[in-house]
Structure 1
Amino acid sequence: MSTPWQARRTSRQPLAARTVAPREPADPARISRRVVRRQAKGMDAAAVTHALKEARFYARQASRHEDLAADERQRAELAGWEQIDQLLAAAPGTVYDPDTYDVVQAELATEATAATEQEAAVREAQRIVARADELQTLREPGTLEHAEPRESDEAVRDELTRRAGPYVQADIDAWLARAPRPLHPPGRP
């Protein structure tokens, strides 16, 4: 019987620690636009004009300090208040509602499309890592020849090479050369 503090030993050792997909860097301008829209929602022209004056005051104060002068977020916030002020000046007697402006809707649609594309890229990277794990598991006991190749196994080969080096690539290249190619990609007749 083993003691609880002893490490369990397994025969299979991973080649390398899995890496997490890099996070998208924060966009200070986009964050500022969202903050301004949220704050301005329901404001009338007078309230927006007051908020614009405050934003200009803070921008002037920040311009006096070297470390704050290049603050992209502050400039985007000021530009957002100016844009809202212009929109409400063109339509007197209304309140700001971001859902009614085409510019805002187009920007939100662009952001949603970019997020969808990023999510698809992350899913594809995860699929490649999972297939690489599968092929590595088959490669270790020597049963790789029994696996059927898939359309994207070249990308998987690159992942295995990145993890362990060219000796794995040689095994996978030999397997890809010997394995019969399917006539049609998976899912197609």
Structure 2
Amino acid sequence: MQQHIDRDREDLADDERGPAEVGEWERIAQLLATTGGTYDPKADAVVQDELAADRRAAEAEQQRLQEQQQLAARADELAALARAGRLDRTVETRPGDKAARELLVHRGDYHPVVDGWLAQALADRSGHYADPAARTAAVDSLPDRVRAHAVLLAALARTGAPAADGELEFAARLAQADPAATNALAIWLDRVLAPTELAEAGAGQDGAQ
């Protein structure tokens, strides 16, 4: 074994892999000297650790590919629903829909209806956005215009005025044109509605007494 190592050390002197390969031979020689038997990869802790690391890397890559496939499938679904005019409140948002939106933008298959759908779900606190943590994350992840649209829809809902399908489409146009102004309008509506809501609450308490 030592003769083999010495010969490899000479043959690999000018090879970048030389020191590593010679070091591996020396490690195996020391292992055999300790065990006194034939070399068995299954009993080599270093080899087993490397194989385990390779398996973990392969599993992580497989998971990544599956997640990419799932994301692409969800993006395809949202695009198809948007084109068919069926992306509405009956379709619940899911974790990862923001990434699906970004994929649609990246591949040039984006439809503005997707933003309106996300904004409505955020305003209604429905689907994925029923979770407070998801709503908090949306503040940092969704585009300004989507968040502004959601804030205005929520303020308009507090007026109690019924709205037919498509009647609040102007909110999306406002948010697209000027998110800051849309937020300001929502804040103003909240301030105007607050005294009314307090008065209604007080009236309800008086009637209950």
TM-score, normalised by the number of residues in structure 2: 0.52
Distance 1:75 1:119, change over 3 A: farther
Aligned-pair identity (%): 36
Q: 1:163 to 1:74 in 2, by over 3 A?
A: farther
Residue matched to 1:101:
44
Please tell me the root mean square deviation across aligned C-alpha atoms, in Å. Answer: 2.5
In structure 2, C-alpha distance between the alignment counterparts of 1:75 and 1:161, rounded to whole Å: 49
1:157–1:169 Cα contact (<8 Å) kept: no
Which runs of 5 or more residues in structure 2 are unaligned?
132-209
Larger fraction in helix? 2
Q: Distance in 2 between matches of 1:174 and 1:78?
A: 63
* C-alpha displacement of 1:152: 1.4
2:114 match? 172
Counterpart for residue 138 of structure 1: 81
Question: Corresponding residue for 2:21?
Answer: 77
Is 1:58 the equivalent of 2:11? yes
In the TM superposition, structure 1's runs of 4+ consecutive aligned residues that sit over 6 Å from their partners are: none
Amino acid at match of 1:135: L
Q: CA offset at residue 84 of structure 1?
A: 0.8
Taking structure 1 as reference, are residues 155 and 104 closer, same or farther at Cα in structure 2, changes over 3 Å only?
same
Report 1 or 2 for greater relative contact order, CA contacts < 8 Å, sequence distance ≥ 6.
1
Aligned residues: 126
What residue ranges of structure 1 are gaps of 5+ in the alignment? Answer: 1-45, 64-68
SS of the residue 1:159 aligns to: helix
Deviations along 1:18-51, one digit per CA (max 9) or x if unpaired, are: xxxxxxxxxxxxxxxxxxxxxxxxxxxx4xx454
Match 2:97 to one of 144, 153, 158: 153
How high is the TM-score relative to the length of structure 1? Answer: 0.56
Structure 1 residues 111, 178: CA separation in 2 closer, same or farther (over 3 Å shift)? same
Which has the higher Rg, Structure 1 or Structure 2?
2
